[in-house]
Chain A
Amino acid sequence: MLEIPLGSKSGIESCMNSYITRRLLGMVPTLILISMIIFVVIQLPPGDIVTSTLDRMQAQGVEVSAEQIQNLRAQYNLDQPMVLQYLSWIGNFVTGDMGYSYLFSRPVNELVWERLGYTLLITVSALLFTWAVAVPAGVYSAVRQYSVGDYVLTTVMLMGLATPSFLLALVAMYIGYEWFGISIGGLFSPEYRDVPWSLARVGDFLSHLWIPMVVVGLGGTASTMRILRANLLDELNKPYVVTARAKGVKPIKLLIKYPLRIAINPFISTIGLLLPALISGEAIVSIVLGLPTTGPALIEALINQDMYLAGSFLMLLSILTVVGMLLSDLLLAWADPRIRYE
């Protein structure tokens, strides 16, 4: 009698499966649109990679013949119409060929993955940090609405929200240097920079990771906390909470099992909104702190009009966000039975 009947469990699974399928299919047009936007954006700067290459070569005194120029243009498909250029760019991208970065004189493939990995790591740990701070703070200020603690927390969080992340990074650098005597740039101490991975290197890495984590995470904490606070305030006096209270459930358990459990649901979907912000914050913080992630490379690529590199970074960061949003939607469907039954 007590085991869950087979029918209902596989029912949940099939609901979940069809939901995942629908969401995955919905992602395709989004990604296509995104790739078009990015292609347009990287085409915007006047001139292109060939003209800037030519400029450099001429500056070095190298004579270039018209034929060579023609060859170069053909090599980059620049002699073809825009639509074809887009198609060949995105086609190559999908098959894993991201082109060649003249800035680093290496295939883009070799450049992006490690940087993207660090970006992902910092972003995810910043997300976890945001949650670890925002959830308790949000719960506290909802339950003790209008208390001194509520005001203090809200104000501190608001300051976090109002401080540009690069300023926070600068302040972190200042504090680290003045108070702890450590230089905060980079993700590794000099002695670990170019050695293979070892336990000691991981430890060194973690001791550097927490600063970008805190700096990037702090910006999103305020909004996240406020969303949770508002959600929770909405739920606190809902009939189902009153019913449960009338049942004799003790306050702490009541709070966690009933209103918080529901308030978390829309909160989960805020990951989707938080991710673009976190990735943005990560980019600028990395530039300030000189971290080997996508941010500094992207800005260099942009300034030097290294279109393949910039486009790949933009595309990969966007995919990261879209996938993150998908994951947050799936998490939501898993957490809220009403959604997966829709």
Chain B
Amino acid sequence: MSELAADFQVEAVSPRQLAWIRFKRHRLAMLSGGFLIFIYLMAALCEFITPYGTDTRNVQAINAPPMSVHFFDKAGEFHLRPFVYGYDMHINADTWMRDYVENPEKRYPIYFLAKGERYEFWNLFYSDIHLFTTKEGYLHLFGTDQLGRDLFSRVFYGARVSLSIGILGVALTLFLGVLLGGLAGYIGGLVDRVVQRVIEVLQSLPTLPLWMALSAALPVSWSSLGIYFGITIILSLFGWPALARQVRGKFLALREEDFVMSARLLGAGRMRVIFKHMLPSFNSHIIATATLAVPGMILGETALSFLGIGLRPPVVSWGVLMQQAQNYQVIVLTPWLLLPGLFVVLTVMAFNLLGDGLRDAVDPYSTAGQG
């Protein structure tokens, strides 16, 4: 009988716990979060993770396909230490392209935490320890490009640039969006009308053509770093309206709430009220929105660089890498050059899934509330 009574009881759970419970239910969001942590870590440590630098050329393997890792040699014998076979290259008489076949005679064992090419880690110190490398021969897990550069290494160096543009761009977007949306919502009146009009205009512009125009305007003489920041700024310039709109709406609602009123009556300055009192009360929503904004930045960089008006070689980014796969000749003959695209897709998907999970968790009634 008392058991029945317990059925009617609802456990007391704090909103934060409830959000975490809801988030944990999104398995895909959890998985995506894990994947993103992994790939950002790889990007951060790319000098160490990858066997070669971005410009190291292997003339013995030009346009070579990805190598497969073996544990059993041709005699069927098992080796605990994985190894790859070196390539024999000959020119295909029909296509005049290089054809590669594995040569069982050239067995290159893979060593972990072994000495390899010398690199400078984050401009901090020099080292030659790599996560994995070979002592003799070469190792191209993702194949090589037409200059014989290792695609695996370039993908992770590219990840550093592309992924950091995503984060940096969103940080800038957040700043602009929260500042302008906050001002519009908090001050109201003329400021609000102006900001709203600008938002409307920016949202009705076809983004890519304008990105193209702006990045084409970046002076060729700029350094790589300058171009990098230029592109980031261009991407954020059209990203903030959506966020500003959300922040503005929230501020309009919050402005009337008691704690903001009392802070104002106590004589707190505007900025202080905004940043100290109002922002913290909805930062969970901002985190969710920001997460959903990262993919747009990454895709933007990729598209611009792919078109040749974004980042330029020698900078390596996923978009720059994709630039090599501009026409279908290349795709048909060296399809592995599309691998950076796979990383773009996975990362963008992960950010979307994570953002969805976060949004559902902090704001269950915004979309699929009735679960």
CA distance A42 to B353 in the complex (A): 38
Q: Which residues of A contact B368 (CB under 8 A)?
A: 145, 229-230, 233
Q: Mark B202-213, 1 if CB is under 8 A from A, else 0.
A: 011111111011
In the assembled complex, which residues on chain A have CB atoms less than 8 Å from the CB atom of B198?
33
Q: Is residue A70 within 8 Å, beta carbon to beta carbon, of the partner chain?
A: no
Q: How far is the CB of B214 from chain A (nearest CB, A)?
A: 6
Give the interface segment out of B65-73, B246-254, B301-309.
B301-309
A280–B209 touching, CB < 8 Å: yes
B-facing residues in A236-283 (Cβ within 8 Å): 236-237, 272-273, 275-277, 279-281, 283
B328:A173 contact, CB within 8 angstroms: yes
For residue B302, which residue of chain A has the nearest CB? A164
In this complex, the member of B206, B322, B331 whose beta carbon has the largest number of chain A beta carbons within 10 angstroms is B206
Contact call A318/B212, Cβ cutoff below 8 A? no
Q: How far is the CA of A295 from the CA of B335 in the complex (A)?
A: 26
Minimum C-beta distance from A313 to chain B (A):
7
Query: Shortest beta-carbon distance, A41 to chain B, in Å?
Result: 5
A86 an interface residue at 8 Å Cβ cutoff?
Answer: no
Q: Are A302 and B348 in contact (CB under 8 A)?
A: no
Tally chain B residues at the interface, Cβ within 8 Å.
47
Cα A288 to Cα B204 with chains together (Å) = 25
CA distance A236 to B371 in the complex (A): 13
- For residue B198, which residue of chain A has the nearest CB? A33
Closest to A123 in B: B206
Find chain B residues with CB under 8 A from A322 CB. Answer: 204
Considering the complex, give the chain A residue whose CB is closest to the CB of B356: A226
The answer to whether A167 and B341 have CB atoms under 8 Å apart is: yes
CB-CB nearest in chain B for A273: B203
Interface string of A140-173 (1 = CB under 8 A from B): 0000011000000000001101111111001101
Q: Does B216 contact A (CB under 8 A)?
A: yes
The answer to whether B303 and A166 have CB atoms under 8 Å apart is yes
- Interface 1/0 per residue, B322-353 and A, CB below 8 Å: 10011010011001001001001110110011
Q: Which residues of B contact A277 (CB under 8 A)?
A: 207
B217 at the interface (CB under 8 A from A): yes
Q: Please state if B307 and A299 are interface contacts (CB–CB under 8 Å).
A: yes
| A321 at the B interface (CB under 8 A) | yes
- Smallest CB separation, A14 vs chain B (Å): 26
Indicate whether B166 reaches chain A with its CB closer than 8 angstroms.
Answer: no
Q: Which residues from chain B contact A45 at a C-beta distance below 8 Å?
A: 216-217, 219
Q: A50 at the A/B interface (Cβ < 8 Å)?
A: no
Measured CA separation A35–B249 after assembly (Å): 28
Whether B299 lies near A283 (C-beta < 8 A) is no
B304: nearest chain-A partner, CB-CB: A284
Q: Which one, A163, A233, A310, contacts B213 given CB within 8 A?
A: A310
Complex formed: what's the CA distance from A41 to B306 in Å? 21
Smallest beta-carbon distance A286→chain B, Å: 11
**Bound CA span A80–B368, Å:** 58
Number of residues of chain A lying within 8 A (CB) of chain B: 64
Q: Does B9 contact A (CB under 8 A)?
A: no
Are A34 and B328 within 8 A (Cβ)? Answer: no
Contact, CB under 8 Å: B345 / A159: yes
- Contact at B303–A164, with CB atoms within 8 Å? yes
Does A190 belong to the interface (CB within 8 Å)?
A: no
* Residue B239 CB within 8 A of the other chain: no
Whether A132 sits at the interface, judged by CB under 8 Å, is: no
Q: Is the CB of B213 within 8 A of A30?
A: no
Question: How far is it, in angstroms, between the C-alpha of A276 and the C-alpha of B210 when the chains are bound?
Answer: 11
Decide: B348 and A162 in contact? CB cutoff 8 A. yes
Contact check, B344 vs A164: say whether CB atoms are below 8 A apart: yes
Measured between beta carbons, the chain A residues less than 8 angstroms from B332 are: 174, 177-178
Chain A contacts with B in 154-212, Cβ cutoff 8 A = 158-159, 161-167, 170-171, 173-174, 177-178, 183-184
List residues of chain A with CB within 8 A of the CB of B207: 276-277, 280
Q: Does B201 make an interface contact (CB < 8 A)?
A: yes
User: Is A44 in the interface zone, CB < 8 Å from B?
Assistant: yes
B349 pairs with A41, CB closer than 8 A: no
Find out whether the CB atom of A163 lies under 8 angstroms from the CB atom of B303. no
Between-chain CB contacts (< 8 Å), 20 pairs: A29-B197, A33-B201, A38-B210, A41-B213, A44-B214, A146-B371, A159-B349, A161-B348, A166-B306, A167-B338, A170-B341, A230-B366, A234-B367, A273-B203, A280-B206, A280-B209, A298-B209, A303-B309, A314-B209, A318-B204
- Known pairs A275-B206, A321-B204; list 9 more (Cβ under 8 Å): A33-B198, A146-B371, A163-B348, A164-B299, A276-B205, A280-B207, A284-B306, A298-B209, A317-B209
The 5 closest A-B pairs by CB, nearest first: A280-B208, A162-B348, A44-B217, A230-B367, A302-B216
Chain B residues within 8 Å of A, Cβ to Cβ = 197-198, 200-201, 203-210, 212-214, 216-217, 219, 295, 299, 302-303, 306-307, 309, 322, 325-326, 328, 331-332, 335, 338, 341, 344-346, 348-349, 352-353, 366-371
